[in-house]
Homo-oligomer: A and B are copies of this chain.
Amino acid sequence: MLPEEILTNDHEQLARFAKALGHPVRVYIMELLSTQTCCFSGDLADDLPIARSTLSQHLKELKAAGLIQGTIEAPKIRYCINRENWKKATLLFGQLFKANPLVNEECK
């Protein structure tokens, strides 16, 4: 029998995903990658009002959180969503937001 942990791996994992989505630029990137297609850093840099080095850091963070992955297509790098982890994130966020038994009750 496992010890009853208060903060579970799922809490940690969800927090990690949420933190990665905790900046408008990164939300923008994930939105783009989840709806449209893969993309290059340069395409994003052309649109976004930040330095390329700053964008690179955001991409690095999304990669560290496991939400995206890059494949070299010299001299560019093509970024795509990491489908496995995106699915995991979808599941975890879905769980969090789905259950709501008090939806029609006032706080008592």
Q: Which residues of A contact B (CB under 8 A)?
A: 6-7, 11-12, 14-15, 18-28, 30-31, 34-35, 37-38, 47-49, 71, 78, 80-81, 83, 86, 89-90, 93-94, 96-97, 99-103, 107-108
Q: Assembly of this chain: how many copies?
A: 2
Q: Report which of B11, B86, B99 forms a contact with A35, defined as CB distance below 8 A.
A: B99
Given contacts A21-B15, A25-B7, A28-B6, whether A97 and B103 have CB atoms under 8 Å apart is no
Q: Are A11 and B34 in contact (CB under 8 A)?
A: no
Given contacts A22-B15, A27-B11, whether A38 and B93 have CB atoms under 8 Å apart is no
List chain B residues, Cβ under 8 A from A20: 18, 22
